[in-house]
Amino acid sequence: MAIIALKCPEIEVAVVDISAPRINAWNSDQLPIYEPGLDDVVKQCRGKNLFFSTEVEKHVCEADIVFVSVNTPTKTQGLGAGKAADLTYWESAARMIADVSKSSKIVVEKSTVPVKTAEAIERILSHNSKGINFQILSNPEFLAEGTAVEDLLKPDRVLIGGRETPEGNKAVKALKDVYAHWVPEDRILCANLWSAELSKLAANAFLAQRISSVNAMSALCEATGADVTEVSHAVGKDTRIGPKFLNASVGFGGSCFQKDILNLVYICECNGLPEVAHYWKQVIIMNDYQKNRFVNRVVSSMFNTVANKKIAILGFAFKKDTGDTRETPAIDVCNGLLGDKAQLSIYDPQVSEAQIQKDLSMQKFDWDHPAHLQPSGPIDLKQVSVVRDAYTATKDAHAVCILTEWDEFKNLDYQKIYDNMQKPAFIFDGRNVIDVAKVRKMGFIVYSIGKQLDEFLKDMPAVA
C-alpha cells in the first residue's frame, strides 16, 4: 500500500487495522516490521496521501477500492483441520464491508486464499449489499520478505483476476490503471478470478518444490559423497531450469510455503484428485524429513545423546535479513533437540528473546491468529537461553547449529569459538554458510547439509 501511495500521489491510501498498538507503531519511527527500504517509503508518504488508522469502518465506507489482507490461518480443528484455510477473518471483513458501504466498491483479495474464495465473498457481499454493486478482484502478492520494496517497485508480474463480465472488466481496468503508474503494461497480467487465485498457490508450490527437490538430493549427496552445491550448480546451469532457489537447507520456512501447499492439497482432495494432492503433499513431507534428519544427525553424531549438553543455535529467523520466525525450521529443530533434553543457547541478530520463547511454546499454526488469541504473558523455557552474540552462545557449548544464513555467521572468528567450546567440538551447518575445509582444519567435526561427511561421522547412522 505504501508503494501505491508513493507511485500514485493523487490516490489517497488509508491502511486500517483494529489493533491500536499496530497502527500506533505504523505512525511512529519504529515500524512494526523490519523490511529494507520501507522506512523511507513510509516517511515520504505518511501524512500526505498515506494514513494509518483504527477507524476501519469510516475509511472502508469512503473507499472506492478496498484491499483485504487479513490472516487466513490453517484450520486446527473441524473440517479440513491441519490443511484448509480458516476464512473466519475474511468472512467478518466481508460482512463489515457490506454493513458500512453506502456506495459501489471494488473489493480486492490480497491475502492468499483458497481457490473460489472470491465466490464465497461475493455471496456474502451481494446478500447484504442493500443494492450496492461490489466487484471482487483477486490480486495476489508475489513479493518476498527482505526484498519486498524492490519486488514491488520492479515486479516480475502483477496479476489481476476478475469476473469475465462488463462490470468485472471495468473493475480489472480500474486496478490495472493504478499499477500502470509504475509497472510496464506487459507485466500486468489479467486473468479470470479462479486462475488468479490458483496461480498464487501454484507459484509458491513450485518454488517450495524446488527446495524440497534439492534437499532430497542433499540426502543422497551425503550418502554417496557428492556435493550438493556442485550438483545444484550443474543442474541450474541448464537455462530451462535456472539457478535460483536451488540452495539446499535445513528446510524452508516462512508464513506461506507450507500453508499454501497444505491449502492446495486440501483443494485437490475436495475436488476428488487424491493423486494430485499426494504429489504436492510430498513437498511438505520432504521438508519435514529434512528438519528431522538434521536433528537426528546432531543427536547421533554426539554419541546418541544431547541430554544436558549445551548446544548453540545461531540464527532463528526463517531466512536472513528478516526478524520473521513464522514456520522457521529453527522451531522444529530446537523442539527436536529440546525433546532430547539439550540445553539451548540461541542467538539471532533480529529476533527477540520474547519471540523465541513464544515460538517454542506455541502450538503449530497458532502464530497465524491475531495477537490476542496467541499465548500471552512471559514464557520461560528453562532449557533455553537467548543471548546477544554468537560468542556468548557458543562458549562452553558442545555443538553449534547454524539455522539461518545470516552474513555475519560467515565471518565469525571460528578459531576463538573452537577454543572456547567443549571437545570434541561439533558444527552442524544447516545453511552451508561456513568454509568446511577451514573449520575442519581447526579441529571442528563438521556436518554441512549435502556435503561429504566428516570421517568422524561416517560410522554414525545417517538417520537414527
Contact positions vs ligand UGA (CB under 6 A): 112, 141-145, 204, 207, 211, 245-247, 249, 252-254, 256-257, 318-319
Q: Which residue from 208, 171, 214 is spatially nearest to 192, judged by alpha carbons?
A: 171
Kindly report whether the peptide bond that precedes residue 166 is cis, defined as omega within 30 degrees of 0.
Answer: no
Instruction: Compare residues 229 and 301 and give the one whose CB is closer to ligand UGA.
Output: 229
Q: Are 426 and 302 in contact (CB under 8 A)?
A: yes
Q: Which residue from 105, 154, 142 is spatially nearest to 125, judged by alpha carbons?
A: 105
Residues 6+ apart with CB under 8 A from 189: 157, 158, 159, 160
Q: Give the C-alpha distances (Å, rounded to integers) separating 181 from 9, 30, 44, 124, 226.
A: 10, 29, 17, 32, 49
- Position 297, amino acid: R
Could you tell me the smallest distance in angstroms from the CB atom of residue 69 to ligand UGA?
Answer: 11
Could you tell me the smallest distance in angstroms from the CB atom of residue 287 to ligand UGA?
Answer: 9
User: H helices of 362-435, where?
Assistant: 390-394, 414-419
Q: Which residue from 365, 201, 363 is spatially nearest to 283, judged by alpha carbons?
A: 201
Could you tell me the smallest distance in angstroms from the CB atom of residue 221 to ligand UGA?
Answer: 15
Instruction: Compare residues 145 and 429 and give the one whose CB is closer to ligand UGA.
Output: 145
Could you tell me the smallest distance in angstroms from the CB atom of residue 304 to ligand UGA?
Answer: 28
Could you tell me the smallest distance in angstroms from the CB atom of residue 205 to ligand UGA?
Answer: 11
Q: How crowded is residue 100: how many other Cβ atoms within 10 Å of its Cβ?
A: 14
Instruction: Compare residues 35 and 454 and give the one whose CB is closer to ligand UGA.
Output: 35
Helix or strand holding residue 426 (H, E): strand 426-429
Instruction: Compare residues 220 and 307 and give the one whose CB is closer to ligand UGA.
Output: 220
Q: What is the CA radius of gyration of the chain?
A: 24
Residues 6+ apart with CB under 8 A from 282: 212
Chain centroid to CA 61? 32
Could you tell me the smallest distance in angstroms from the CB atom of residue 112 to ligand UGA?
Answer: 6
Instruction: Compare residues 85 and 421 and give the one whose CB is closer to ligand UGA.
Output: 85
Could you tell me the smallest distance in angstroms from the CB atom of residue 204 to ligand UGA?
Answer: 5
Residue carrying the nine cell digits 459501489: 104
Separation CA 163–CA 419 (nearest Å) = 65
Cell of 123: 455471496
Burial classification of residue 137, based on how many CB atoms lie within 10 Å of its CB (0-12 exposed, 13-18 middle, 19 or more buried): buried
Q: Are 15 and 51 in contact (CB under 8 A)?
A: yes
Phi, psi for residue 310 in degrees, rounded to 5: -80, 125
Known catalytic membership, residue 190: no
Instruction: Compare residues 142 and 289 and give the one whose CB is closer to ligand UGA.
Output: 142
Burial classification of residue 9, based on how many CB atoms lie within 10 Å of its CB (0-12 exposed, 13-18 middle, 19 or more buried): exposed
Instruction: Compare residues 97 and 360 and give the one whose CB is closer to ligand UGA.
Output: 360
Q: What strand order describes the sheet that includes 384-386? A: 384-386, 343-347, 310-314, 399-402, 426-429, 445-448
* Active-site hit among 190, 256, 268, 401: 256
* DSSP classification of residue 453: P
Instruction: Compare residues 156 and 455 and give the one whose CB is closer to ligand UGA.
Output: 156
Strands 310-314 and 343-347: parallel
Instruction: Compare residues 318 and 426 and give the one whose CB is closer to ligand UGA.
Output: 318
Q: What strand order describes the sheet that includes 158-162? A: 65-68, 105-109, 134-138, 158-162, 188-192
| DSSP bridge partners of 428 | 401, 447
Could you tell me the smallest distance in angstroms from the CB atom of residue 377 to ligand UGA?
Answer: 29
Could you tell me the smallest distance in angstroms from the CB atom of residue 253 to ligand UGA?
Answer: 4
Which residues are catalytic, by number?
256
